[in-house]
Amino acid sequence: MTGYFKDRDFYKKTLMIAVPIMVQNFVTNFVNMLDNIMVGRVGTDPMSGVAIVNQLLFVWNLCLFGGLSGIGIFTSQFCGKGDEEGIRYTVRLQFILTMILLAAGCLIFLTMDTRLISLYLHEDGGIGNAAQTLYYARSYLMVMLVGTIPFGLTQIYSTTLKATGETMSSMTASLMAVAVNLAGNYILIYGKFGAPALGVVGAAVATTLSRLVELAYMALFVCRNRERYPFLHGALKSLYVPGQLVINCIRKGTPLLMNEFLWSAGQAVLTQCYSFRGLSVVAAFNISQTITNLFNVAFIAMGSAIAIIIGQELGTGDTEQVRVDADRLTVFSVILCVISGLMLLAVSGLFPRMYNTSEEIRAIAAGLTRIAAVFMPLHAYLNASYFILRSGGKTLITFLFDSVFIWVCTIPVAWSLAHLTSLPILPLYAAVLASDLIKCVIGFVLVKRGVWINNITEYT
């Protein structure tokens, strides 16, 4: 263990990549938390409506993330190889994929909005009104769909620049965006400075404006740094991509896109299973996940750092060093999340009191947060294992490791406990998270066997 921390330059490099991503994610989640509190102070039904829509949009967001990340594997290795033309080809593929996913997402949400939202509406005779929750959810969704366009385009810039090791620009763009989002929420939700009080619609408008600001900054950053990123200029004058690279990206990227889709859809199904305990549980999960996401930034940022560092090292062909670095990054990620978990435990009982809701919902939210804190180091290990396997282009293995596991193991456990027992939500939630221990064993074996060590930069 002590040998893992002797190379200060390695950890300096890791933190140079991870810290800006941590800051970016922390600020984004912190403002999301404030937004959530603002909506939560309007009432339980608006808060639940927004939470349901965000769960559905989460599936689309991760589909985009998975698709772009699959292509980003090639971008990272092309960067390590110094192949600018290869990077340019991946930018074109990212643009094409983003347009396809935008069209598909809007079509699904515009035609199936009521049906999808209603899956989460189970009244339990307590807090919450299903009809009102549906109304708020649909109003919020219609505006949020507009924001998916600038969001998708921003992700192309962000994915490409992060693959080269440039993370400061994305952090700065996010800081600007969250400032706009926070100010917009305050003004438009409550009707300040003469503006109308739009409630959840105001929250959606503010989010859309913030995404436009984020896109504008990223585009301006690239324009001002033409010499540093020549592969981004003129990349879309043509959409030509070598056929072999397209085939390689489809072969490697499709399992990753499907993985993110099935994993995020699995998370939505899990939430739907939990919702059978009533709308009070939906509201409590919204509160719990809001604060938990704030403390998850450490292992999420480390996942991005692992993808960048391991991907670039695989591109250079140094297979011995990459094994050592994979172990060091995994240990570092888990240690960070032990600290994060302890901090989350400390605030778990205080945070729910910031919401205008019932004591019952606050108590459930506090319990859910404590359970999430206990399992945080476990999820850090799983996240590190996932990104190590993905960095070598072994996306079929990550597909089996991640999304197939959740559908074969986790969801059956949650469904059975939710539908066939009267188990209260807290032990039910803990039992579902505990099933990931099986996944940890699988991840340990796959990483140690080195099945992920692979160079995929050839496209001719």
Query: For residue 456, what pLDDT is reported?
Result: 60
**Residue range(s) defining the domain that contains residue 39:** 2-449
In a domain, 96, yes or no: yes
> Would the pLDDT of 3 be above 60?
no
Structurally, the chain folds into a number of domains equal to 1
DSSP secondary structure letter of residue 408:
I
In a domain, 10, yes or no: yes
Query: For residue 438, what pLDDT is reported?
Result: 92
- Decide which of 398 and 411 is more confident: 411
Query: For residue 67, what pLDDT is reported?
Result: 84
Q: What are phi and psi of 298, to 5 degrees?
A: -65, -55
pLDDT in tens, 42-80: 777 888 888 888 888 888 888 888 888 778 878 877 877
Taking CA 53 as the corner, what is the angle to CA 195 and CA 215, rounded to the nearest 5 degrees?
65
**Residues near 400 by beta carbon (within 8 Å), at least 6 away in sequence:** none
In a domain, 204, yes or no: yes
In a domain, 456, yes or no: no
- Decide which of 274 and 40 is more confident: 274
- Decide which of 33 and 139 is more confident: 139
In a domain, 413, yes or no: yes
**Residues near 141 by beta carbon (within 8 Å), at least 6 away in sequence:** 53, 56, 57, 109, 113, 117, 204
Confirm whether pTM is higher than 0.75.
no
C-alpha to C-alpha distances, 297 to 81, 346, 436, nearest whole angstrom: 30, 17, 20
- Identity of the amino acid at 167: T
Q: Tell me what the pLDDT averaged over the chain comes to.
A: 84
**Residues near 298 by beta carbon (within 8 Å), at least 6 away in sequence:** 22, 333, 336, 337, 339, 340, 380
* Cα separation, 121 vs 52, whole angstroms: 9
In a domain, 457, yes or no: no
pLDDT in tens, 245-277: 888 888 777 777 787 788 888 888 898 889 888
> Would the pLDDT of 226 be above 90?
no
In a domain, 253, yes or no: yes
Residues of 123-142 as b/e, b for ≥16 C-beta within 10 angstroms? eeeebbbbeebbbbbebbbe
pLDDT more than 90, % of the chain: 26
Taking CA 384 as the corner, what is the angle to CA 167 and CA 261, rounded to the nearest 5 degrees?
80
* Cα separation, 275 vs 278, whole angstroms: 5
In a domain, 305, yes or no: yes
| Banded pLDDT at 119 (limits 50, 70, 90) | confident
